C-alpha cells in the first residue's frame, strides 16, 4: 500500500520523504489556506521534492471552469494529479482531464455508487473519506471494502486512495482491505511506529544496560 502524506508542510514532507515513507502528497483548499502559501508556488515546491503524484484541487464548481483550473494546475509539473469533487460537474471535468492524459483524483467520495461513477469517468484515484463517515456513525472502512469488491469485480484501474485517515488503526485496516493508497497527516504516519510494549521493552533494556555499564562507542 502506498503512503501519501496529507499536508503542505514542506519540512514534514521532507522528513518523511527522506525515510522513504512518501509515495505522493495530497492537498486541498483547507490545507493550502492553513499553510498561508500561494497554491501554485507551494504545489510546485512539493512536486520538486517528491517523485510521486501530488494532488492539487480545483476551487471551481462548474465543469468548464474546473477543466480550465485543472489544465493550469497540470502545467505545474508532470506529477500533478488534478483533484476534483465528486459532483456531476466534477465527473464531467474528470472525463475531459483524464482523456487529455492528466492524472485525476476524484475527492469527497462517501458511497460505493459515487466510486463506481468516478471509475467510469476515468479517475486515476478515488478518495473515499473514512473519518468523516465515522463522525456520523457510519463505518468508513466498510466503504473501502465495498469499493474494493466492485473495482475487483469489473477490473477498474482506478486506485482506491483512502482519505480522512484519523489514526494508525485506519492505516492497517485499509492495508488489510486492499486500499491502493492511504493519505494521512504526518502525525498519523509517525504514530504507526508507536506501541506501549516497545516503549516498555526499550526502557527495560536501557535500564539493564546502565546497570551493567554496557557501552558500545
**Within-domain flag for 199:** no
CB–CB of 101/82 below 8 Å? no
Reported as half-sphere exposure (CB side, CA atoms, 13 A), residue 158 has a value of 32
Question: Which grid cell sits at 20?
Answer: 522513504
Residue 48: pLDDT band with limits 50, 70, 90:
very high
In a domain, 203, yes or no: no
* Choice among 83, 120, 176, 211 that is catalytic: 83
The pLDDT of 138-164, averaged and rounded, is 98
With CA atoms as reference, report the closest residue to 24 among 102, 71, 77, 79: 79
Whether residue 182 lies inside any domain: the answer is: yes
* Per-residue model confidence as pLDDT tens digits over 175-217: 999 999 999 999 999 999 999 999 999 999 999 999 999 999 9
Q: Write the DSSP string, 84-101.
A: EESSHHHHHHHHHHHHTT
Residue 129 lies in a domain: yes
Give the pLDDT score at 138: 97
Active-site residue 83, yes or no? yes
- What's the grid cell of residue 156? 477498474
Strand partners, 204: none
Query: Is position 205 within any domain?
Result: no
Positions of E strands within 97-180: 103-109, 125-128, 159-162
pLDDT in tens, 109-131: 999 999 999 999 999 999 999 99
Domain that holds residue 50: 2-191
Q: Is residue 198 situated within a structural domain?
A: no
Residue 157 lies in a domain: yes
Q: How many domains does the chain have?
A: 1
The CATH number of the domain holding residue 142 is: 3.20.20.70
Return the pLDDT at 140: 98
Kindly report whether the global pTM for this prediction surpasses the value 0.85.
yes
In a domain, 202, yes or no: no
> Helix, strand, or coil here: 1?
coil
Instruction: For 52-77, write each residue's pLDDT tens digit.
Output: 999 999 999 999 999 999 999 999 99
* 89-111: average pLDDT: 98
Amino acid at each position: 500500500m502506498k503512503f501519501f502524506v496529507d499536508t503542505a508542510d514542506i519540512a514534514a514532507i521532507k522528513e518523511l520523504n527522506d525515510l522513504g515513507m512518501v509515495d505522493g502528497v495530497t492537498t486541498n483548499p483547507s490545507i493550502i489556506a492553513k499553510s498561508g502559501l500561494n497554491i501554485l508556488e507551494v504545489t510546485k515546491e512539493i512536486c520538486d521534492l517528491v517523485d510521486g503524484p501530488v494532488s492539487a484541487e480545483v476551487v471551481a464548481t462548474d465543469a468548464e471552469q474546473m477543466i480550465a483550473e485543472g489544465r493550469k494546475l497540470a502545467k505545474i509539473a508532470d506529477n500533478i494529479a488534478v483533484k476534483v469533487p465528486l459532483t456531476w460537474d466534477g465527473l464531467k471535468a474528470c472525463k475531459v482531464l483524464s482523456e487529455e492524459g492528466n492524472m485525476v483524483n476524484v475527492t469527497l467520495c462517501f458511497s460505493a455508487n459515487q466510486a463506481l461513477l468516478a471509475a467510469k469517468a476515468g479517475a486515476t484515484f478515488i478518495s473515499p473519506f473514512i473519518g468523516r463517515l465515522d463522525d456520523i456513525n457510519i463505518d468508513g472502512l466498510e466503504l473501502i471494502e465495498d469499493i474494493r469488491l466492485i473495482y475487483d469485480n469489473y477490473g477498474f484501474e482506478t486506485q482506491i486512495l483512502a482519505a480522512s485517515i484519523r489514526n494508525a488503526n485506519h492505516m492497517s485496516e485499509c492495508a488489510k482491505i486492499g486500499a491502493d493508497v492511504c493519505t494521512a497527516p504526518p502525525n498519523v504516519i509517525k504514530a504507526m511506529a508507536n506501541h506501549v510494549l516497545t516503549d516498555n521493552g526499550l526502557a527495560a533494556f536501557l535500564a539493564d544496560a546502565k546497570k551493567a555499564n554496557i557501552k558500545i562507542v
